[in-house]
Every structure is written in structure tokens, then in C-alpha cells.
Chains A and B, each alone.
Chain A
Amino acid sequence: MQNHEEINRLKNLVQDLLDESEKQGATSAEAGLSVDNGLSVNARLGEVETIEHHCDQSLGVTVYIGQKKGSASTNDFSGDSIKETVKAACSIAGFSSEDEYSGLPEKENLATEFQELDRNYPWNINAEEAIEIAIECEDAARSYHAEINNSEGAAVNSHQGIRVLGNSLGFLQGYESTRHSISCSVIGERDGDMQRDYWYSVSRKSDKLESAKAVGIKSAERTISRLGARSLTTRQCPVLYSAEVASGLVGSLIGAISGGSLYRKSSFLLDALDTQILPEFIHIHEQPHLKMALGSSNYDSEGVATAARDIVTDGVLKGYVLSSYSARKLGMKTTGNAGGVHNLVVDSGENDFTAMLKQLDTGLLVTELMGQGVNRVTGDYSRGASGFWVENGQIQYPVEEITIAGNLKDMYKNIVSVGNDVDYRGNVRTGSILIEQMSIAGE
């Protein structure tokens, strides 16, 4: 159920920005705004710790004077501020250079069909009720095991926002969406060794969230399983990325085939279109119109229509991830990905998590990664890791203070299988991913 009155009010503001841009001499313009309201509570050791009331708003305009571009934004929605913001954008455009590739999207690429994507489910919850849920969640975690002896708390968040986007080609759209979450992070101690882990559930609709108790128990289970972690000796072995860290591997792939990296030649997958970059059994799709999904959208951040498409088929790269600008730079057509991808789905194999462990046989299961050690130009990869040592398909003991390293190009080609234990919480939906061999550095 959309609040049409409020959306219309904000659409009018966006139209004012576009009109003002034209008045101040812009050849064309794009404007957008967002308004977000939310509540966050955190409970720790059975009592409320913080209550935060959020209310954010922001508007921005990008103007083109010929092929020269300037942008400005503000959180002040007054009429004077709109004038000043447009003036600032025009002033910047006056100083920037002619760029033959810049400009609004081609009109024929703009979205004209708008499906109901089921993104708006307000959660009618007040601070007291949210605190109760957070306390229930943390209680479940703290009472799970005697070794859970401290906590960073449990949090309940509920946010509702409106986004409006318009441009001087006549595009003007707005929608409301919601996002709610429950999370918990607890600490366990055994023989002086402290470990922390967490779990969270997120959804557009509050009754689709995992129960507070389930989130709490999961966070406690994960913490307990890490107690007694040790390092490994330096070696090479197969590595299984659990589903929640496997999405990062797919994210690096998307970064490498994104227009910005390609036209700057700062990608390890240059000229890889129609070549084999992954094993034949891997298929990756973009599904922008999944109902209720967190990444769903009818149009990208420029208003270009999104469409379901194949990015990798039989391991062969079938499409890049492009905005209008990067597409023009590459002599191609936009793929509706200004601002990123919308629900990326990696097709699952047959194996559930237990079968994936069996297939790993003896090697490293990674459940958490640290640091940013990925070189996007060369694909060189080296990150801190923690997880579990596995022998004969059985978890043996937790490990920490190790690194895993390789080159992403090789890692992608050496994927052995993808599990069906999909993590649905993010914009990338993948099961766990098994890689044939990586370098482990440790004690």
C-alpha cells in the first residue's frame, strides 16, 4: 500500500529541481530524492542500551550543460535550498570538461512498465515492543550455553523510505519500501579464549523475519563453535566458502565486469566477454523483479529499465554490468545497472551443506573473511580468514589467524561445485562454493 499523497508531494519537489535546472541554463538534468524514517533499538545483558529514532532526507541534482556535467546535493528541502543546489550544480558544470559520452540515458531505454514488486510492508512497532523482541533474542542467545558469558547485544531495526527519481526526458517515478532486521552478537569464553559471532535476519516484511529466538540461538551456536580456535600450518588445500562468504566471491566477479572497471582498464577480466571464465556448470542470472527481494527494482539509478538476463551461461561470460555512461565509453548498450546489480542468482547444484563438506573431504571451511586484500586490476587475492578444519567430510576444529590466497581468475576456473544451501539475505544469492585449491598461510 503506497502513500500516494506523500509520493506526489516529493515528485513535485523533484519536478521543481528539474524545472529550476532548465531555468538556470541546463541542457538536461536528472534529480532524485530520498526520505527515510526508522527506529533502531539495542538491548544488552537483558536491558535496553540504545534507542535511536532515524529521520533522513536528501535530494540531489545532476545537470548537463551541453556535454559538461555537475552535481549537487543537500538535506534542506526548502525552495531557497533547491535554487542554491541547482546553482551549485550548474556552476560545477561550467568548470568541468566536455565529455562526449556524458548525458542522460537514451529515452528508449527508460523504464515504461512498473510492476508491483512488493517492497513496502511497514512494521507498526514502537520502541517498547522492539526492545522486548531484542531482549527475547539476546536472552535466547545467553541462555543457550554456559560458555556464553558476555554480549554485544541484540538489535531490532525497522526502516521505511521513499525514493523518487526524475529526469528532463519526462521520467518521474517514486516508490516506498521497507527493510526490517533482527540481529544478535554474543561472546563466549573457554579457558581464557574469547570469541564473538553474530547472526541476523533481514526482510522487507517483519513476519518473514526469522524469530527473535532463532536469531539468538544461531548467534550463540556460531560463537560456541569458534571457541578453542587455533591456527593452521602453512599449506595448500581445497577451500569451501560458506554461503554467507561465497557471495563476496561473486561480488568480486561483478566488480571486474562492471563498466567502470572495464573502461578504466582496471579489471582482471578485460575482454572476457564470450569467453570461459567459470566451469561449464555455472550459470549466473540477474533477476531484478523478484517480489519482496531486497535488490528488486523496475529501473536503475538513471531510470533505465531493468530486465531479467543471463550474465554467465555454461561458465561463459554473456554480459557486462553497464550504466549508460560506461556503455557509451565501451561502444555498447546499457544493461540497466547504473548503481549496481539487482538480485544476482547463482544456480545451485545438487549438494546441501553436508554433501558439500563431504565433497571438500579434507580442507578448510571458511565462514568469515577479514580485510580488503583483493587487487581488482590483477585479481590477486589474499585475505584473513577463520572457519573450520575439515577431515573426511567432518568438521574437526575451529581455525583462526590464517590467510587464504590465490588469483581470482584461477579461483573462478577451479570452482568444483556450488551448494544448494543458498543465503537469501543479500543482493547476491548463492550457495556455498568449493574451490579446488588455495594457499593457506598460518603459524
Chain B
Amino acid sequence: MLNQVKQSILTPYGMQEKDIDTIMDSMLSSQVDEADIYFQSSHFESWVLEGGIVKEGSHSIEKGAGVRVVSGEKTGFAYSDRIELSVLLEAAKNVKAIARQGYNAQRKIATTAVRKDYYQAINPLKSLADQEKIDLLRKVDIETRKLDNRIEEVIVSLVGVDEQILVANQDGSLAADIRPLTRMSVTVILEDNGKREQGSMGGGARTDYGYFLDQNKAVEYGKEAVRQAIVNLEAVDAPAGNMTVVLGPGWPGILLHEAIGHGLEGDFNRKGTSAFSGKVGERVASDLCTIVDDGTLDNRRGSLNIDDEGVPSEKTVLIENGILKGYMQDKMNARLMGVKSTGNGRRESYAHIPMPRMTNTYMLPGAHDPEEIVKSVKKGLYAKNFGGGQVDITSGKFVFSASEAYLIEDGKITRPVKGATLIGNGPDVLTKVSMVGNDLELDSGVGTCGKEGQSVPVGVGQPTIKIDGLTVGGTSV
């Protein structure tokens, strides 16, 4: 893979491996703790069908390189879209000022880390002919419209990315990755007697477009979107107040991403700005909860063979039986906290600084049958699908918005209620988890996480869980 990536990122621009050494040498001094050069090339395409026609498509090619020097807690960073020795030497000159000058440092000896690959080095854009992509969109549109005569609009999109990265570290190591990523989504709008609602479903993976043809997945997305819209057409006002909430399996795992995930990223904890700072070894969840961040799942949207600092992906235990075990780390924060990088150093692109980010974050299954969990609730909310979420790292307060939810009355799921935001406090919400289902599911592969203006693809998952008390933001007081 390394040779293939060198061929496609360096060779066309007349760069050789020794040029990387030259740039690296120019950045190193005794004060440098980390230095890297990150080359990236990415091809992106999207196709959108709307109003029954394939309205537009777009294609983009981006490439560039970023150079970074870290000294203590200080980072100097510059990048360019021109992969040329002279340009990158100039960038290196700009960033090295961050480290006080000293004698030239010895290059550290490269250590070979064990690396496994969790997805194939393929180019998804080429996995179907353009006409086949169009045909797929059309088929989904036609099949979806057949499902209900109240459908007003169907929007189908298909997105593919072919990304290659090459990262050179100050220890002389050079690591490459080829990261395919595909995504498809269907949105429908239904109208019934002047009342309108929408439903959305999508999925994706680090693989080719064949993924959407397998088991008729694309058509199933359409069915699911219609089902959600119909449920929402019948929804009554959501309740307001603190109540028992049962979260369904899969995408509701966004709870974990917001409530504890961000708060366990190394940078916030190194700086002491997280509500979880200094809590390793303490109880932050009920003993039913074991939560991991795992970049090593095959073909998952959040998976990585290596992170953007060249560190192989890991499965990191964040919380074990309710006890906080550790944080997610990149190289700089790991060094400053005296631990090892967990392979969570990620960046949106060559034009962004890496930081600790999640990959696939999920809770391990428990012992309960999901039906048993619902049966145990006298009055509460069952939330099955969610939109986005957000967290205030410092206060620990987080939100996530239900897009499909039902009342639970006397142990039964009854009426659907309108979407509502749920709000809670990260450090104690999981202490109220009183039942964990045996039905672990991962999300369908659509998650994107934003942090400090940088977006990266992520995954979440969980079994059905019961939380004894979460604030539900409906209108029905």
C-alpha cells in the first residue's frame, strides 16, 4: 500500500522520499517533541436525485500537505495545496519557529508497530459505472414512491470518497492508508390532509457502492424513511419533564458520543477543562456499562487502519463495568499525560491540525431482553431514532434530539410523540442506567462528528438501555 500511495501522492509532483527527509531535517531541533508531514489526496463525488430526476452531480479533487512541529504544549502548523519541495520547505520554515532553537536533534529510530487492515484499499468511485449509479438512484426513487400515495417528494443521494494519506514522522517512519468511504441517504416528505412530515434513512461504510446493492439495502433505506414519516404524521405532542427513558439499539448510541465520548478526549483532560478531568478509576456509570472506542471494526465508517499520525487503530476501553479506565489520545496529549497514543489522532484534512477524536464508540451488550426492559417501565419515553447532538465539555451538559419516539404506558409502547430534545449531565447520566439489553447494534454508517470546526466520520452503537431519569424537552407540560 505504501508504494501505491507514494506513487499517487508524491510521484506526479516530482517529490521523492529523500525530499521528505530534507523537509523533516529542516524542522527538527532539540526542542521538537513531534514533527510530521501529512500528504493527502482525495476524490469525492456526489449524485442527487430529487423530483424524480437526477438533478445534479458534483466531483472534486483535493490534494495537499500539512507540516507540523510540536514542542511541549506548543504547535506550529502550515499547509499548502502545492506538493512541491520548495513550497513545503517554506512551510517548514514558518512552523519551526514555534520550537526554541537548539542544536540539531538526532532523528529517533523508527519503531515498527503492528498494523492490521480493517477495510480494503479500493476506489469506490470506480466500483460502479456512472450509469449504474444513476440507475441505482432511480430504482430507489421508483420503489420508494410505490410505498405510499401520500409521498410528495423523494430525495436520494449517493456520495463516495477515495482518499489516500501518507504521514511522515520525525522518527523516520512513513505510513500510508487508502480509505474508501461511501454513503447513501433517502429523505421523503409525506402530506396527509395538509399535514406534512419527513422521514430520513441512510447508511454507508468504508467499502464500495456494491454495499448498497447487497440485500437491496438502498431500497430498504427508502422503506425505512417512509415508515418514519408515517409514524411522525401521527405523532402527538411530546411530554416535558424528567422521566424514565428507554433508548433503542444502534444510532441512539449518540448518547455515548455526546454524554461521555467528547468528555474523554485527551486534550480536554490534559487541560483540565472536561467534566471528566481527573476521574480515571472513579465510577462514572452503573456497573452494567462497559463502553469502548474501537477503530478496528471491519469496514465501519468510523474505522481506521492507522490514525492521521500513523498510529495503528485500537480498541480502547473507556469505561469498564462503570469505572472510568482512560482517555482517547493523540501523540501530543499522550506524551503530556505520560501515556501512549491510543490511535485517536485524527484531522479533517491536510489543512487541519490533528487532535484526539472518536472512531466507533459503543456500549457492550448486557443480559436483558429488550422487551423485558420496556415491560419494566410504567410511564416513560421510548426513543428509537435521533438527529444530532451537542455537548458542553466543561459543564458536562449534553443534548441529543429524538426524531422518532413513543410513550411507554404500563410496560407497553403506545402513541408516537413528536421529536424532542433530551438533555442530561454527562458524568452522571450513565449512573442511572438500570438495564442493558442483549441486542447490541451499531449505527447504519452515517455519523459525522464536529469538533473545533473539523468534521470526521464516526460510528456509534449500543444495545437497548433504560435510564432512570432524563429530561425530555417536549411541549406537553
Contacts and interface: CB of A to CB of B under 8 A. Distances in A.
Contacts, number: 252
B474 A266 contact: no
Contact of A439 (B77, B191, B474): B474
Given A55-B80, A102-B55, A380-B419, 18 more contacts: A53-B77, A55-B79, A76-B63, A85-B61, A89-B59, A91-B59, A91-B130, A96-B56, A150-B271, A194-B394, A231-B471, A266-B189, A370-B392, A371-B401, A375-B419, A405-B421, A405-B473, A441-B242
Nearest to A194: B394
B334 interface: no
Interface string A38-58: 000000100111111111111
A152 B477 contact: no
Contacts of B94: 53
A200 to B, nearest CB: 13
Given A73-B60, A371-B421, A372-B401, A234 B77 contact: no
B88 interface: no
B401 A382 contact: yes
B84 to A, nearest CB: 11
B298 interface: no
Contacts of A443: 242, 471
Interface stretch (B22-30, B166-174, B178-186, B383-391): B383-391
A441 B394 contact: no
A337 interface: no
Nearest to B472: A441
A97 interface: yes
B241 A234 contact: yes
Interface in B463-477: 471-477
A25 to B, nearest CB: 16
A32 to B, nearest CB: 13
B351 A196 contact: no
A123 B240 CA distance: 50
B196 A92 contact: no
Nearest to B389: A371
Interface in A401-435: 401-407
A74 B61 contact: yes
Interface in B391-444: 391-395, 397-401, 418-425
Please indicate which of the listed interface residues B351, B387, B395 has the most CB atoms of chain A within 10 Å of its own CB. Answer: B395
A440 B107 CA distance: 59
A300 B181 CA distance: 33
16 contacts: A44-B73, A50-B77, A51-B76, A69-B56, A72-B58, A152-B271, A194-B273, A195-B394, A196-B395, A370-B397, A373-B387, A377-B197, A382-B238, A386-B395, A401-B397, A439-B474
A139 interface: no
A253 B112 CA distance: 56
B353 interface: yes
A92 B53 contact: no
Nearest to B155: A264
Contact of A382 (B155, B393, B397, B475): B475
B156 interface: no
B148 to A, nearest CB: 15
Interface residues of A, number: 78
Contacts of B78: 52-53, 55
Interface string A49-90: 111111111101000000001111111100001001100110
Nearest to A74: B61
Contact of A97 (B55, B59, B391, B397): B55
Interface of B: 50, 53-64, 73-81, 91, 94-95, 97-98, 130-131, 133-134, 152-153, 155, 189, 191, 196-198, 238, 240-242, 271-273, 275, 351, 353, 387-395, 397-401, 418-425, 471-477
Interface string A192-209: 011110000000000000
A327 to B, nearest CB: 16
A95 B134 contact: yes
A404 B423 CA distance: 11
Contacts of B351: 54, 56
Contacts of A34: none
A127 B97 contact: yes
A235 interface: yes
Nearest to B67: A53
B423 A403 contact: yes
B193 to A, nearest CB: 14
Contacts of A127: 97
B97 A234 contact: no
Contacts of A56: 81, 351
Nearest to A98: B53
A279 interface: no
A229 interface: yes
A138 interface: no
B57 A70 contact: yes
B394 A384 contact: no
Contacts of A404: 473
A97 B474 contact: no
A76 B473 CA distance: 48
Interface string A158-199: 000000000000000000000000000001000001111000
Given A53-B94, A69-B56, A442-B471, A373 B399 contact: yes
A72 to B, nearest CB: 4
Please indicate which of the listed interface residues B56, B98, B238, B393 has the most CB atoms of chain A within 10 Å of its own CB. Answer: B56
A373 B57 contact: no
A3 B445 CA distance: 46
Contacts of A370: 390-392, 397-399, 421, 423
A56 to B, nearest CB: 6
Nearest to B388: A372
A236 B241 CA distance: 11
Contact of A75 (B64, B77, B133, B196): B64
B54 to A, nearest CB: 5
B75 A51 contact: yes
B63 A48 contact: no
B196 A95 contact: no
Please indicate which of the listed interface residues B97, B397, B472 has the most CB atoms of chain A within 10 Å of its own CB. Answer: B397
